[in-house]
Amino acid sequence: MAVNYEPQVFLFLSEILGIKIVDSEGRAIGKVLDLTGNIAEIYPPVLDILVRLEKDKKIVLLPWRRVAEVNGTLIFHTPQPEDFREPAPRSGELFLKDTLLDKQVVDTDGAKIRRVNDLQFLKVHRDLYLVHVDVGFHGLLRRVGLERSVAFLLRKLFDYTMTDQLISWKFVQPLFSPDLLRLTIAQNRLAHLHPADLADIIEDLNIHQRSAVFRSLDAETAAEILEETDPKIQVSLIQDMDTANASDIIEEMSLSEAADLLGDLPKDKAEGILREMEQDVADDVKELLAHPEEMAGGLMTTAFLSFTPDVTVAEAMETIRREAEDMDLIYYIYVLDGEEHILGVLSLRDLLIAKPETVLSDIMDKRLISVNIEEKKDQIADDFAKYGIMAMPVVDDDERLKGVILFKNLLEVVAPKLGK
Amino acid sequence: MLDTLSGIVRRVRQGFAGKKYWRSFGLFFALIGPGIITSNVDNDAGGITTYSLAGAEYGLGLLWTLIPITAALIIIQEMCARMGVVSGKGLSDLIRERFGARITFYLMIVLFLTNLGNTISEFAGVAASLEIFGISRTLSVPFSAAFVWWLVVKGNYKSVEKVFLFACVFYLSYIVSGFMGKPDWNAVGSSFLKPAIQLDKGFLTMAVGVIGTTIAPWMQFYLQSSVVDKGLKAEDYQYTRMDVIFGSIMVNVVAFFIILLCAITLFQNGVKIESAKDAAQALAPLAGEYCSWLFAFGLLNASLFAASILPISTSYTICEAFGWESSLNCKFLEAPQFYGLYSLMVFLGAGIILLPDMPLIGIMFYSQVINGAILPVILVFMLLLVNDRRIMGKYVNGLAMNILSWLTVAVLTILTLAMIIFMLI
């Protein structure tokens, strides 16, 4: 037939599902139920077609590479017996409609959870690659079958043309099942999100998706996420995990956050996790746990650096460089005498501009602000507001340094006062 | 720097959200679960009106229907709660994922219209109750619509919910009044023993209305979402089930006393309910001449309670199905569909009542009849979902449960069809 047929470059899944599949003579083979793709690739190529056969209604897989043409129907090269396969996907192969269409995915570019209205494929020669996920209203209308009438109305009434809202597949993380998350763990796209965004997304997910997503993350990312999540959700996430994994993650958290979280957990779970943790981290956390949460002792962290007065700037910098990764605070360092009384404080800036051979006691600031370990939250917040510092040393009744409170750990108390 | 900054913003938000959360989920909510809240919202303006009409027009004739209705309500709500706990997803979520975009689209339109009808009936309840105090509906309806909109969007709904819930002790006055009215308990007993069906338009419509108000479709969506939001796990399911069963029985005990009272006060004296004042007579044995005040207070509370939940829960349901941003934490422009749908429902719900000569009692009653007619459709979807092993795993319905629930669907469908046929001839 001499029809002006322009080859389509893009195809939607909704245009392929349900259409007839015929052989080159035009005899019906069956109906398309689903497509499978290899999701190990960045843009998954379509591998097989799930077909309900015309003659005996059996459901089988046929290889996509034997498709000659897509044009309202799928034209399949005369099928050979070896083309028919049991409908069981191979490893890395995924039923696209079943796992993606109408399901929720994470758009890691926009940091949002979206619902998939359609899948868009790019046709290169005879191969089909999954390139975009359609999350827009236009795609929804196409599925409903009202695309044309609504588009017509909008154009006539408002002179408005609908556009597709497509997300590139490389920014899409499926959420359908725990298996799927595990399958794509090598290229888990969630890890590219900022922890704060990912924490938001996790809070929006339901209880099953939440733990599935959380388990798919490495301990370091998981710890970052936990620090950003609501305390109630923190507890439910950790309670769903076994003690060994939970302790790996909690070790990666900052000391004060870890202590807060363990304080919220049921007692035996918390103790189990503490036993699994590295001894020195566990000891530090236990020390923090001993203090009530609303007092200075419960807010402080013990992961900071202190030096004796005779240390030089060069030596101090060397220590900072070595230890910084495990510290909650490096912007201030404290100078202590032999009995842990604070003599002075230096900022990282002081160290950077000082000559390397200078001794700390020569340049330290002796005008010190500190709070008692039993000081209340509100008072500490007032002090922060008054002195404009980033961290506050905490001392016991004998004026010995016990820890420091970071400004950010007090934000929920400070923030309401900021407006005033 | 960017790191710290977004961390800071995050934490501030968290501080606020966290506190609110704990306050509202304190002891109060430890005892009152989603099932009991749902059942209290269930006795809304439409509910009180429909039960009153049932008693006033048919005496004790419809009382027996409450037995099968209670059983059906327990079966249906239990399935919803179970689906919520096992799948962790809302009902519209599941419908979309299982049945695809097209069916979901049309179903959501039907649900929107049905729920709009219910919202109109809640504002009718506001208008009717405040007219007893002599406040004109041109004043009461816009004001209450603005109040509801503000409460949900800007205010702290969760803390006001406690006030609404507490005010539900009002329903006790029906129970007390019921005993004080000294009904003929023998007659009540025999009405259960000799259930009778009248095959005429009025009776069938009333039966569908009573079913539709007790087992309202939107309650199933609301209940399942509440269960999901609470993050309940399969291990704790037995408590949820108890909560749901208790709630379902509570609704019907209240319904029983409303019908009973209207039967002995209104039906026996041949009074027809033409305004809320007439329905208030049912409380006369308890409150005497103050009965209309008591009734007005109860109806107002019920109407405002449901008006605060219904539009917002409908918007959530629809946005969830289509994957639109839906959260009260978003700004208007971030979630236009969500706020748009919500505002449209409140605006239309209140606006339609303000049209001249709207029959308040009729609106409150017929919105419930529509509920009853839509119910079998929703039930079919629910049953297909709850029996899907890929969603429910080992928690699918058992054989007995399936027989009972498909039987319910069959009876409801026949009843609705019969009603429609009688309406047409």
Q: Which of A143, A228, A411 sits opposite B12 (nearest CB)?
A: A411
- Classified as helix, coil or strand, A405 is strand
Please give the Cα distance from B244 to B247 (Å, whole number): 5
d(CA B34, CA A383): 44
Query: What is the identity of the amino acid at B242?
Result: M
Q: Which residue has the higher pLDDT, A416 or B362?
A: B362
- Per the structure, the count of domains in chain A is 4
Residues A25 and A122 in one domain: no
Asked if residue A24 belongs to a domain, the reply is yes
β-strand pairing of A28-38 with A46-53: antiparallel
Q: What are the residue ranges spanned by the domains of chain B?
A: 33-424
Any domain includes A38: yes
**Which residue in the set A143, A204, A208 is minimally distant from B88, CB to CB?**
A208
10 Å CB burial of residue B395 (0-12, 13-18, 19+) is: middle
Q: Is residue A207 pLDDT above 70, yes or no?
A: yes
Fold type of domain B33-424:
Amino acid/polyamine transporter I (1.20.1740)
Task: Please tell me the predicted confidence (pLDDT) of residue B9.
Answer: 40
| CA proximity to A94, closest of A40, A135, A143 | A40
CB contacts, 8 Å: A390 with chain B: none
- The residues of A whose Cβ lies within 8 A of any Cβ of B are 101-104, 112-117, 135, 140, 143-145, 194, 196, 199-200, 204, 206-209, 228-232, 236, 408, 411-413, 415
- Does the CB of B15 have a partner CB in chain A at under 8 Å? yes
A364 and A408, same domain (yes or no): yes
pLDDT, position A414: 67
Q: Which residues of B touch A206 (CB under 8 A)?
A: 87-89, 228
What pTM does this model have? 0.81
Joined tokens for residue B85: 């706990």
Q: What is the pLDDT at residue B304?
A: 92
Kindly indicate the confidence band of residue A106, based on its pLDDT and cuts at 50, 70 and 90: confident
Chain A touched by B11 (CB under 8 Å):
yes
- B4/A408 CB distance under 8 A: yes
pLDDT per residue as tens digits for the range A359-368: 998 999 888 8
Min Cα–Cα distance to chain B from A193, Å: 12
Q: Which residue of B has its CA nearest to A103?
A: B97
pLDDT for the residue numbered A187 = 55
Instruction: Return d(Cα A307, Cα A315) in angstroms, integer.
Output: 10
Whether B10 sits inside 8 A of A228 (CB atoms) is yes
- Give chain B positions within 8 Å (CB) of A177: none
Mutate: best of B8, B11, B318, partner A, most A CBs <10 A: B11
Whole-number pLDDT of residue A417 = 58
| Residue A227 in domain | yes
* Terminal-to-terminal C-alpha distance of chain A: 78
Q: Provide the pLDDT confidence category of residue A178 given band limits of 50, 70 and 90.
A: low
- Is A207 in contact with B88 (Cβ distance < 8 A)? yes
CA gap B134, B195 in Å, rounded: 41
pLDDT at position A416 is: 63
**Domain ranges, residue A240:** 194-290
Cβ distance A412 to B21 less than 8 Å, yes or no, reads no
CA end-to-end span of chain B, whole Å?
75
State residue B397's pLDDT score.
Answer: 93
CB B214 within 8 A of CB B248: no
Which chain A residues are closer than 8 Å to B323 by Cβ? 104, 113-117, 135
Ordered per-residue pLDDT tens for chain B, 425 residues: 334 444 444 443 444 444 444 444 444 445 567 888 888 888 899 999 999 999 999 999 999 999 999 999 999 999 999 999 998 899 999 999 999 999 999 999 999 999 999 999 999 999 999 998 889 999 999 999 999 998 888 877 777 777 888 878 888 888 888 888 888 888 888 888 888 888 888 999 999 999 999 999 999 999 999 888 887 777 778 888 888 999 999 999 999 999 998 998 888 888 888 888 788 877 877 777 788 888 888 899 999 999 999 999 999 999 999 988 887 777 888 889 999 999 999 999 999 999 988 899 999 999 999 999 999 999 999 999 999 998 898 999 999 999 999 999 999 999 999 999 998 88
What pLDDT is attached to residue A86? 83
Mean pLDDT of all residues belonging to chain A:
84
Same domain, A319 and A275: no
Q: Flag whether residue B393 sits within 8 Å of chain A, measured between CB atoms.
A: no
Question: Which member of A117, A196, A236 has the closest CB to residue B7?
Answer: A196
Neighbours of A20 (CB within 10 A): 15
| Statement to judge: residues A17 and A51 lie in one domain | yes
Find the mean pLDDT for residues A322-326: 86
Same domain, A381 and A403: yes
- pLDDT tens-place string over residues A117-163: 999 999 887 888 999 999 988 889 989 888 888 888 888 888 888 78
Q: Which residues of chain A have a CB within 8 Å of the CB of B88?
A: 206-209
Q: What is the 3-state secondary structure (H, E, C) of A141-172?
A: HHHHCCHHHHHHHHHHHHCCCCCCCEEEHHHE
Q: Say whether both A19 and A45 belong to one domain.
A: yes
Gap between the Cα atoms of A62 and A53, Å rounded: 10
Nearest Cα to B302, choosing from B94, B22, B50?
Answer: B50
Identify all chain A residues contacting B26, using CB atoms and an 8 Å cutoff: none
Q: What is the pLDDT of residues A242-301, one digit of tens each?
A: 888 888 888 888 888 888 888 888 888 888 888 888 888 888 888 788 777 778 888 888
Contacts of A236 in chain B (CB under 8 A): 231
A265 and A283 inside one domain: yes
The single-letter code of the amino acid at A201 is I
- Picking from A114, A232, A411, the nearest residue to B323 by CB comes out as A114
Kindly state whether residue A180 falls inside one of the protein's structural domains. no
Preferred mutation among B1, B14, B236, B334 to probe A, highest tally of A CBs within 10 A: B14
Taking CA atoms, A390 is separated from A321, A384, A407, A413, in Å, by 20, 8, 5, 15
How many CB atoms are located within 10 Å of the residue B116 CB? 19
List the single residue in A116, A145, A231 with the smallest CB-CB distance to B102: A145
Residues A206, A198 contacting (CB under 8 angstroms): no
Residue reference for tokens 């049921």: A266
Instruction: Indicate the helix (H) or strand (E) that contains B400.
Output: helix B399-424
Closest residue in chain A to residue B90, using alpha carbons only: A206
CA-based nearest residue to B297, from B50, B55, B29, B48? B48
> A184 falls in which pLDDT band (50, 70, 90)?
low
Question: Is residue A100 within 8 Å of A133, Cβ to Cβ?
Answer: yes
B205 touches chain A (CB under 8 A): no
* Chain A residues closer than 8 Å to B104 by CB: 102
Does the beta carbon of B388 lie under 8 angstroms from any beta carbon of chain A? no
A102 vs B87, B97, B233: nearest CB = B97
Task: Name beta bridge partners: A346.
Answer: A333
**Gap between the Cα atoms of A47 and B26, Å rounded:** 53
**Which stretches within B215-290 are classed as H helix?**
217-229, 237-262, 276-280, 284-287
Element (H, E) at A118: strand A118-124
Which chain B residues touch A412 with a CB distance below 8 Å? 11-12, 14-16, 18-19
**What are the structure tokens assigned to B87, written together?**
């799948």
Q: Is A90 part of a structural domain of the chain?
A: yes
Question: Which pairs from B176-181 meet CB under 8 Å and 24+ separation?
Answer: B176/B286, B177/B257, B177/B261, B177/B282, B177/B283, B177/B284, B177/B285, B177/B286, B177/B287, B178/B257, B178/B260, B178/B261, B178/B285, B180/B285, B180/B286, B181/B261, B181/B264, B181/B265, B181/B285
Q: Which residues on A lie below 8 Å from B9 (Cβ)?
A: 196
In order of A221, A267, B414, the CA distances from A243 in angstroms are 18, 13, 56
| Beta-carbon contacts of residue A203 (< 8 Å; ≥ 6 apart) | A229, A230, A233
Residue of chain A whose alpha carbon sits nearest to that of B16 = A412
Q: Yes or no: say if B152 and B328 are a contact pair by the CB < 8 Å rule.
A: yes
Report pLDDT digits (tens) over A329-383: 889 999 998 888 999 999 999 999 999 999 998 999 888 888 888 888 888 888 8
CA distance A114 to A169: 13
User: pLDDT tens, A5-41?
Assistant: 545 588 899 888 988 888 888 888 889 999 998 887 8
- Residues forming beta bridges with residue A372, ordered by sequence position: A395
Q: How many CB atoms lie within 10 A of CB A177?
A: 15
Q: Is residue A2 in some structural domain?
A: no
Interface contacts A/B by beta carbons within 8 Å: 81
Residues of B in contact with A208 (CB under 8 A): 87-88
Residue of A118, A202, A206, A330 for testing the chain B interface, max B β-carbons within 10 Å: A206
Q: Is B5 within 8 Å of chain A by CB?
A: no
In this complex, do A206 and B15 lie within 8 Å of one another by their Cβ atoms? no
| Interface membership of B102 toward A (CB under 8 Å) | yes
Q: Is residue A178 part of a domain?
A: no
Tell me what pLDDT residue B8 has.
40
Does the distance separating the beta carbons of B97 and A412 come in below 8 Å?
A: no
**How many angstroms separate the CA atoms of A250 and B155, rounded?**
37
The answer as to whether A49 is a domain residue is: yes
- Bridge partners of A51, per DSSP, are A32, A60
Which chain B residues touch A115 with a CB distance below 8 Å? 96, 322-323
3-state helix, strand, coil in chain A (%, to 5): 45, 25, 30
CATH number (domain holding residue A18): 2.30.30.240
Q: Are residues A408 and A311 in the same domain?
A: yes
